[in-house]
Amino acid sequence: MSIGRGADGGLEFDRDLSFANTLALPSRAEHFWHARTESGVGDGLELANAHGWPITVLGGGSNLLLPPAIGGLTLRADIEGVAFRQGRGDRVHVEVGAGVGWHALVEACVGRELWGVENLALIPGLAGAAPIQNIGAYGVELADVIDWVELVDRRDARMQRLDRDACDLGYRDSVFKRELADQVVITRLGLTLSTRPRPQLDYGVLRERVAATPSARDVFEAVCAIRREKLPDPIRTPNAGSFFKNPLVTAAVASRLLRQLPSMPHYPQSDGQVKLAAGWLIDQCGLKGRREGAFGVHDRQALVLVHFGGGTLEGLLAFADKLVDAVRERFGVVLEREPRRVDASGIYTPETGVGAPTIRASDG
């Protein structure tokens, strides 16, 4: 049921949200507002504030765990539009609406022979969600190319712009997951890309797929091929992509693990920590392809949990906890969940695991 339907969709009641999360978990919104403009976002926020409703903001739902029911107002900001503007030298500035599909944006940039986001091809979801998680893949993060984020304050519907530094982007982290969590609605992003070739081929699996001097299109197509080989299409097999973050450990912990497991994938970071491959750790526990009821570990990528149908959020979290326990028991490393969980009141709750992953034994 809906009322006040107009350019921004109006208010709907008891809205099915199974379309709004790529895990296809059953969920319904008490009230739903579909905004296609900044003013539409403001109208929805003012309506919710006038009624004292809590507000939940949804994007493409590729990184969310939804409960069976969400109270208050659920708002989706589907602001479209991509604009390119030549900057100084080889720089090109890109402005993109929050409702633009991320992969569609990457493809448009590659089509203009622009460098900077080609490694981020085929990441599901909408552009507006990208800064929240600081999306990344194959050695590249959104933080490498973002200039600013425009947003609307949930409390007074005031618009503002944050520059890159104010977004405080880190590994799968940002100010939007911390100080500004549940306080703003992202409406637009500004990126700076380059016409000068800048291939990032640090991951061996990617370097093996492209020529010594690849084009942005070459890298884009190689990333797409790798992801399609490893990851299930959420339209055919519901999933939320990478369910766990790749854990960061101290150099001493990594060294100890490498003495036991010389073939363990590991990636030294600029701050001295070492990133491990969560999927590899799960696989080493013999859990790739494991299925329990409605949920399972994907048979080609252990980092991905899939929903076979008929499951609930409670069942998914119980299954995920078993994987976390197995990795902790085998390696002493604690995996953190990557998708954000929404509770019944629309509040995002923290991921499983607190702080940096650790190992039980001493680091020495």
Does residue 291 carry a catalytic annotation? no
Does residue 314 carry a catalytic annotation? no
3-state secondary structure of 278: helix
Q: 56 forms bridges with which residues in the sheet?
A: 74
Catalytic residue among 12, 30, 38, 338: 338
Catalytic residue among 36, 76, 164, 172: 172
- What distance in Å separates the CA atoms of residue 223 and residue 118, rounded to the nearest whole number? 8
DSSP annotation of 130 reads H
The sign of the dihedral angle between the CA atoms of 162, 164, 169, 172 is: positive
> What single-letter amino acid sits at 234?
P
Catalytic residue among 27, 242, 336, 341: 242
The DSSP line for 309-329 is SS--HHHHHHHHHHHHHHHHH
The DSSP line for 163-202 is EHHHH--BTTB-GGGTTTTTTEEEEEEEEEEESS------
Give me the torsion for CA of 161, 166, 167, 170, rounded to 10°. 170
Q: In terms of DSSP bridges, do strands 348-349 and 340-342 run parallel, antiparallel, or are they unpaired?
A: antiparallel
Q: Which residues contact 88 (CB under 8 A, 6 or more apart)?
A: none
Does residue 172 carry a catalytic annotation? yes
Q: Which residues contact 67 (CB under 8 A, 6 or more apart)?
A: 27, 313, 342, 343, 344
- What distance in Å separates the CA atoms of residue 322 and residue 330, rounded to the nearest whole number? 12
Active site residues: 172, 242, 338
